[in-house]
Structure 1
């Protein structure tokens, strides 16, 4: 059963909750302008979402997220724009990503601006992974700064792709 329907409630894993609390404390000291969204810390919780970016009202909804993965070596810090995969070419041609250290990716209908990060195991002890967590938090901070500083240009890119006939969208 899905959240919000019937009697569904997530099954929180204590080791993930402990990791999550330490993660949120560290994030609060590294990324002052953002907050970590509360999580169920259940078995499928392998991503942390952030709220609080300062963006103009007309910028499409963006999800800021730190993907831990599920015991994988590599994962990502992301800006995710749902439903905007067809803006990939316009984003590349805009030059907004040049010299940023970020890449772009399309998955399904979503467009991502991302940075490769080491994977994190939220079921393992926090302290041995502290350096990896800091790397991810710094990437989230830098992605958010890029997003806020380039919001107007990004909006132009996303609007210009919407003006193209669908046959010309990539």
Structure 2
């Protein structure tokens, strides 16, 4: 099992392909699992990695979690870390903020929660609310929002501006034709 496989060099990926050749008459001797970011799919699509790409039999893309799944995901992680499901220190509002700020992406959820728990510990707080979640995101840094997040925000702003311009022009045309 290889995590962050998108960071592997072409030569290492070629060695992995060679390892996948190991087999007996009955079966393959090794199963290789590559885990990675979306860039891994692009990397494997390169012509130089065609043979490795053709050997992949199962692919799965982890989609963002739905809003209603955030709470159970965080509770599960807290239990796995040794916590108690019933002593969850996250408020309902914090779950909403985590969803909105993470867009449901597990890696971001983990980063926000880890930082919020660290801040809460440092401040000797027992409850993690919206304010603490915002503080955690600020603490993670301004680069936390990816360029695509910023791009989609800009697209939404542009749509609203275009709609407003169309309404104003339509109103102006109607007003002039009415006079």
Output the TM-score relative to the length of structure 1: 0.22
The answer to which structure has the higher strand fraction is: 1
Greater relative contact order (Cα < 8 A, sep 6+): 1
Greater gyration radius:
2
